[in-house]
Amino acid sequence: MNITVVGTGYVGLVAGACLAETGSQVVCADVDQAKIDGLKNNVLPIYEPGLDSLVERNQMQGRLTFTTDVAAAVASAEVVFIAVGTPPDEDGSADLRHVLAVAETIGKNQKRELVVVTKSTVPVGTAEKVQAAVALHAKLPFHVVSNPEFLKEGAAVDDFMKPDRVVLGVESDFARSVMAELYAPFVRTGKPIIFMDVPSAEMTKYAANAMLATRISFMNEIANLCEKVGANVDLVRKGLGSDARIGPSFLFPGPGYGGSCFPKDVKALMRTSDDVGAPMLVLQAVEEANNKQKHRLFAKLAAAMGASLRGCRVAVWGLAFKAQTDDMRESPALTLIEELLTAGATVVAHDPAAMREAERRLGKRVTFAPTNYEALNGADALVVVTDWNEYRFPDFARIKAALKKPVLIDGRNLYDPAKMQALGFTYRSLGRGRE
Residue 121 backbone zone (phi > 0: left; psi -120 to 50: alpha; other: beta): beta
Dmax over Cα atoms in the chain, in whole Å?
A: 75
For residue 279, tell me if it sits in a domain.
yes
Residue 59 CB coordination number (10 Å): 18
Query: What confidence tens digit (pLDDT) does each residue in 361-409 have?
Result: 999 999 999 999 999 999 999 999 999 999 999 999 999 999 999 999 9
Last-in-domain residue among 139, 168, 196:
196
Do 171 and 258 belong together in one domain? no
Do 55 and 148 belong together in one domain? yes
Do 30 and 99 belong together in one domain? yes
Alpha-carbon torsion (186, 189, 193, 194), positive or negative: negative
How big is the chain by its Cα radius of gyration, in Å?
23
Query: What confidence tens digit (pLDDT) does each residue in 397-417 have?
Result: 999 999 999 999 999 999 999
CA distance 265 to 269: 6
Do 277 and 299 belong together in one domain? no
Start-end of H helices in 22-164: 33-40, 51-60, 70-75, 97-109, 126-135, 156-161
Does residue 261 carry a catalytic annotation?
A: yes
For residue 433, tell me if it sits in a domain.
no
Closest CA to 222 of 208, 212, 237, 210: 237
Last-in-domain residue among 292, 311, 342:
292
For residue 260, tell me if it sits in a domain.
yes
Do 245 and 302 belong together in one domain? no
- 179 and 147 Cβ atoms separated by less than 8 Å: yes
Do 60 and 191 belong together in one domain? yes
Q: Which domain holds residue 300?
A: 294-428
For residue 120, tell me if it sits in a domain.
yes
Overall domain count for the chain: 3
For residue 434, tell me if it sits in a domain.
no
For residue 435, tell me if it sits in a domain.
no
Last-in-domain residue among 132, 164, 196:
196
Q: What is the DSSP string of 80-109?
A: EEE-----B-TTS-B--HHHHHHHHHHHHH
Per DSSP bridges, beta strands 142-146 and 426-428 are: unpaired
For residue 283, tell me if it sits in a domain.
yes
Do 185 and 314 belong together in one domain? no
Do 148 and 108 belong together in one domain? yes
Do 263 and 394 belong together in one domain? no
The phi, psi pair for 5, rounded to 5°, reads -115, 120
- What's 229's domain CATH number? 1.10.1040.10
For residue 393, tell me if it sits in a domain.
yes
CA distance 338 to 366: 10
Q: Collapsing DSSP states into helix, strand and coil, what is residue 435?
A: coil
- What's 413's domain CATH number? 3.40.50.720
Do 90 and 54 belong together in one domain? yes
pTM confidence score: 0.91
Q: State the catalytic residue, choosing from 18, 226, 261, 312.
A: 261
Q: Collapsing DSSP states into helix, strand and coil, what is residue 21?
A: helix
Q: Which amino acid is at 325?
A: T
CA distance 129 to 421: 59
Closest CA to 61 of 89, 94, 6, 24: 24
Do 154 and 229 belong together in one domain? no
- 143 and 79 Cβ atoms separated by less than 8 Å: no
Low-confidence ranges of the chain (pLDDT < 50): none
The phi, psi pair for 40, rounded to 5°, reads -60, -25
Do 152 and 68 belong together in one domain? yes
